[in-house]
Structures are given as C-alpha cells and as structure tokens.
Amino acid sequence: MIPPHLVKRLAELYGVDDKSRTFTPWSHVVSLVYAQMTHAVSLNDVCDGLRMNETMLTPIRGATAPAKNTLSHANRERSPLMAEALYWEVMDHLMTQNPQFAKGKVRRGYLRRFNKAIYAMDSTTIKLVAKSMDWAKHRRRKAAAKCHIRLDLQCLLPKCVIIDTAKFHDNTKARDLCSGLQAGEIVVFDKAYVDFDHLAYMDREGIFWVCRAKDNLTCRVIKTLDTTDNPRVLRDEVIELTTYASHKAYPKTLRRVVALVEVDGKDCEMEFLTNHMEWSAWTVAELYRCRWDIEVFFKEIKQTIQLADFLGHNANAVQWQVWTGLLTHLLVRYLAFQHSWQHSFTRLFTVVRAVLWRRWHLGELLELYGTAKPPGRLCAAPQQAFLWEDM
C-alpha cells in the first residue's frame, strides 16, 4: 500500500538519507510500523522480534533488522518531518487509488441533509514520563504531549494533525487546525477551542461552527426562536455577548441552544453555540453529538494501536512514533475498506497481528473472518460408531 520509491524520495527531501548508512529509512519505517502492530514495549522487543524473523523481513523491499542503539539513534537524530510527510503522501495515494475510500460511508440520519463537509476538532493527551522528558513538562510532576486533530466525519480520517506539548491551551491551536476550511463547511468542537476572535474570523469566511458554551458565558437574550417542537430542546435563543472583551472580539449576534443530552444513561442540560440561524435547534444538538466519532478515533489509536508505550524519551522519537502509529492506523483502515470488513477495527487489527509473519493471502483471510458465514458443519461418520462398539 506504500508506493515503492516514496520513502526514499522523502528521505532525500528531508535530509534523512544523508544520516543513514546501514540502516535505511525504509527499514526504519518498517521497524516502527512493526512496533505498533505487535504492541512492542521496548527497543529490545522490536529489534529481537525483527532479527528472529529476518528471513521473512528481507523480502519486504530489502528491509533489515536494526540493533538497539541503531534504532534509538535513528529515532533521536532523523527528522520527524519525513514521517509526517509520509503519512499525508500515503493517504493521498490511497485516496487517489480508490476514490471511494475518500468518500467514506453514506451519511446516516440527519447527516444526509448536509452536502458540505463536516469536521470534528479535538485533542488527546498522551502521558509521558516527567523525569526523563523535560521538553514535554506539563505540570510539576507530569509530562505529556498533545495530538490535535481535525477529523472528517465522512471518511473518519484526519485532515489536519498537530503534535505538540500539552502545556499550551487548546484554543491556541484552533486557527492552525481550521486552516484550509472552505465556505459552507461545518466544524464541531468542544468549549476548550472557543476563541471569539477565531469564531468571528470563521463567520466572516462563511464557515459554520457548533460548539459547547463555556460555563462563565455572560450574554443578553435578543430574541427567542421556535424552530422545533422536540421536547428535549429547552431553549432556542439569539444572544449578544455582554463582556467587553468578548463583545469586541465577536460583535455580531450568536445563537444559543439549550437541550437535554443523554450522558452515561442520564439526561444532562447542555448549552450549544452556533453562527447558523436557520437550522432547527435539534439539528444543532445532533451536530454536536456527531463529535463523538472523534472520540472513537482516539480510542482506536490509543487503545487498539496502543499509541501510549514509547520507545524513546526525546521529542523526535515521540513524534516519529506518533506519526507511524497514525500511518499504521491508516493502513489497517484501508484494509478494512478494501475487503469490506464488517466487524470492529479491533478485531481486524487482532487478525492481522496474529498472522503477521505468515505468508497468507490477506484478501482470502479477511474474507473468511469478515463475513457472517456459519461455521462448517461436521459430517456424520456411522462407521466410527460401529468400530467403537466393536472395541
């Protein structure tokens, strides 16, 4: 699924090829993808596993098993910009090769009414070891990195990814995450990304947004709307910000929808803000509900891919592993699409990991496990009963 000369071209572009002698950039990428596929917890785990299966590794375009110090040095010294570029290049290649992969699934329910793209924006915190990672110091005794993602809710693939330390607030990354959005497109995010300067900019650009309202929001009700008879919608209002700084940043009117949302089996009252005045109030609440898909994405990369156990302590090593973890997720997702996999992402990952060093025809294997065919039935053998009787 990765074009043959792509890694070599990117290695030359980012100067990685100059720093590699016996351990090629292709072998580096294969080693880190292997680490994610096998849930490796240490450098020795990766190197020993590859060395013991070197006869199966070499046919993969001449990949070689590294020594522990070689892999550690590569993670520390080679530019992670190459890994980032590799992820986006492979995504573009797969979407070009199969345009249906870019379109994703047909939208369900209320999403069918929207012709424009809908994005969810959020971040996930990746915990690190504080005493050995000063560059990612988050609190007094904690260290963490953050992965900010803008997810396309049609194909459930990222359109923008920012990896940084966790000491910066989410709203400082909002502008970068929303760069490239077109007029008429919709972005949904949590209250951590609320920045009224940025919200005003998106409104001027014709970008629609839906977000949670902060608890300390002060406003004045201009008008009460009646756009739905859904009993779960409590209030639908046009408001104006009253705080001086907020009003200066966003002088136009906003729309506030208060609705009952089920959380852990209980109804909770939530306030939503949007700049779209014509949707029904329940549509606003449902648009925010679809933001949950990005939480599913985070679960896949942090629990199934296990993007939590890092092989190195420096910033370069962490970024290399995050990008190759995302690349691994992309390749497995493309496998699921290519073979019409109907089961969960976790089960597909488990099946592929179980036969990683066997020469299987992957399509036949996934068709066998991915269908709802009943198991084979045992044929009766009466002669065995007679033999048993004779004995």
pLDDT, tens only, 18-57: 878 889 999 999 999 999 999 998 899 999 999 999 999 9
Q: Would you give the DSSP letter of residue 313?
A: S
270 and 330 inside one domain? no
pTM value?
A: 0.86
Structural domain includes residue 280: yes
Structural domain includes residue 103: no
The predicted-structure confidence for 114-163, as pLDDT tens digits, reads as follows 788 899 999 888 776 544 455 555 555 566 778 899 999 888 899 999 88
Look up residue 83 and give its two tokens: 């890994």
Per cent of the chain over pLDDT 90 is 47
pLDDT at 202: 94
Look up residue 123 and give its two tokens: 């971040």
pLDDT at 267 over 70: yes
pLDDT at 375 over 70: no
Structural domain includes residue 389: no
Structural domain includes residue 118: no
Angle, vertex CA 287, rays to CA 247 and CA 96, nearest 5: 110
- Domains of the chain: total: 2
pLDDT at 135: 52
- DSSP element (H, E) containing 346: helix 345-354
Structural domain includes residue 260: yes
**Count of alpha carbons within 13 Å of 84, Cβ hemisphere only?**
15
What end-to-end distance do the CA atoms of the chain give, in Å? 58
Give the residue numbers spanning the domain of 277.
191-286
The sign of the torsion formed by the CA atoms of 243, 246, 248, 252 equals: negative
Between strands 118-128 and 186-189, the pairing is parallel
Structural domain includes residue 161: no
Structural domain includes residue 72: yes
What interhelical angle do 362-370 and 345-354 show, nearest 10? 140
pLDDT at 141: 56
